[in-house]
Amino acid sequence: MTVIRRRVLAHGRVQGVFFRDSTREEAERLDVAGWVRNTEQGTVEAVFEGDPDEVDALVWFMRSGPESADVVRVDVDEEEPEGLQRFEVRA
């Protein structure tokens, strides 16, 4: 199986709207490993590793986020996979 890794940074009203937990739920549903966290700059940062189609689906999810979010921009970078095995919400 081909595994890809993407680092995603969501800008806008993305903190305090259950963005991290919604991302975790979607990642677990899609069987994608990685993590998500709030940053001090007011953004949400996430890393996704897994099947290319599933990772792409999560990147698209980050473009809108949960219903109460207002995402204005998403930055996506390709990275080399590290072999992550599960998904976690980081503080």
Among all residues, which ones are annotated catalytic? 20, 38
Identify the helix (H) or strand (E) that includes residue 29. Answer: helix 19-30
> Would you call 35 helix, strand, or coil by DSSP?
strand
Handedness of CA 25, 78, 17, 69 (dihedral sign): negative
